[in-house]
Amino acid sequence: MKNLVKFSFVASLLVASSLNAHKGAFVGVEGIYSKTSSDISIHPEKNHLGNNQKVKFSKSTPGFGIKGGYNFGDFRAYGGYEYLFKAKNSKNGKTSKATTHNLYIGFDYTPEITNDLKAVVGAYTGTSIISDKLNNDASNGGGDGVSHSETYSISYSGTGWLIGTKLGLEYIVADHHGLEFGVKYDYAYFKNHKDKSGNYINSIKNRNLKPYLSYSFYF
């Protein structure tokens, strides 16, 4: 009976130690592959095109991120930075070259599935910073059914609002190491951007689907 009590006590300490090891501050890195759908609206009265233009692009690009925060056991709060490499896409005579920086704060619910495996359900919001160059080849008529007499190039950069959600799994290795994989989906909205030549972008809407793989170290 005494041996059983000792065994139960030791087992409870080991379980408690394992659970507590996942609590506290953490830092992490992640790799991302983003598929982005962009809707760009150019204001007809403040550019030289003479017609309202709506440009749509779909592009894919890799990226990376860093994050840090505090884990409370079944949930965690954190802040992060994400960089998406330059994405180039051509469609109907138009070419887009864009890079993106995201700064965000997030909250994840991380219930245990087994001793070493957690579900991850989260949401995040923050700021997205975009830099893009849009070129139009007049020989293709702009691709919008309207004949344009000139080739144009519009460069723009701006800051917009970012909101997203994520779903994944995290596997805990040796108490202090977390390997996580899953998918994110976020939406970024930018408005009222004017380049140095006076060309006016009314709005930009980016929808991003991002499979990701990350590593976290729990202190």
| Domains in the chain with CATH codes | 2-218 (2.40.160.20)
**What is the pTM (predicted TM-score) of this model?**
0.78
Per-range mean pLDDT, top range of 10-19, 125-134, 175-184: 175-184
Query: Please, which residues have CB within 8 angstroms of residue 126's CB and are 6 or more apart in sequence?
Result: 102, 103, 104, 105, 162
**Tokens 């219930």 label which residue?**
111
User: Cα angle vertex 78, ends 75, 83, to 5°?
Assistant: 135
- For residue 93 the two structure tokens come to 């005579």
- 34-88: pLDDT as tens digits: 998 888 877 645 545 555 677 787 888 899 999 999 999 899 999 999 999 987 7
Neighbours of 52 (CB within 10 A): 14
Q: Tokens for 72?
A: 């409370």
- Cα torsion through 130, 144, 42, 191, rounded to 10: -50
Give the tokens for residue 58. Answer: 């779909």
What would the pLDDT profile of 86-131 be if each residue is shown by its tens digit? 877 666 667 777 889 999 999 999 999 998 999 999 999 999 998 8
